[in-house]
Amino acid sequence: MSSGVAIRRADVLEAAALSELGAATFIETFGALYCPEDLQSFLKSAHAPSYYEEFMAKPETAAWLAEDDDGVILGYAMAGPCDLPVEAMPDGSGELKRLYLLKEAQGLGLGKALLETALAWLDAHFTHVYLGVFSENEKAQDLYRRYGFEKVGEYDFMVGNHADHEWIMKKNASKA
C-alpha cells in the first residue's frame, strides 16, 4: 500500500471493481459466520456488478472510494434514500447503505474519512439519516454513536437462508 490515500466519488464504470471489493470486504469481515451456500447466494446478488451499476446509475444515490496513489481501492461507502424497515419513516430519509474497508486499510482513518464524506452528502440531501449495522459489530456501533447515531429499531438481514439480527440507527441530518 502506498503512502497517500484519496477519497473520491465512484463512477458507474467502476462497478466491477466495487463488486470485487464489496465481496472481498464482506468475506473478510463476516465470511466465517455463514455456511458456503448462504455466503455464495448472498454475494451473487448483493455484490454482483449489476447491483453496483444499477445503484450508481440512480441520480439520488452516491458512492465513494478510498484509493491509494497506485490506484488500489481500499474501501468504499454508499448512500441514498432509506429503504430500511423503519416504522413511520419520516419524509426526506436517507441511508448510509455500506461502509467497508479491507482489513489491511483499517486503523488508518479511512473509515472515518469515508463516513464523514458520506454523511456530508447525506446531510445535504436528506433531513434524517439511517443505517443498518450487525447487532454484534460493536466497533461499528461505537463509531456511529460518536457521529450522533442512536439505535431506533431492529430487523433481520438475510444472508442466503441465514437471518442476521441487525440494528437500525438514526441521526438527524444537519439540513433538518
CATH number of 82's domain: 3.40.630.30
Which pLDDT value is given to residue 172? 73
User: Cell 455500506 identifies what position?
Assistant: 98
Which residue's C-alpha cell is 455456511?
35
Within a 10 A sphere around the Cβ of 154, how many other Cβ atoms? 12
59 vs 48, 49, 63, 94, 163, CA distance in Å?
20, 18, 11, 13, 31
Mean pLDDT of the region 151-161:
96
How many domains does the chain divide into? 1
Dist. CA 150–CA 165, nearest whole Å: 16
Residue 96 is part of which domain span? 5-172
Residue 95 C-alpha cell reads as 441511508
The mean pLDDT of 126-143, rounded to a whole number, is: 96
pLDDT of residue 2: 53
Strand, helix or coil at 80? strand
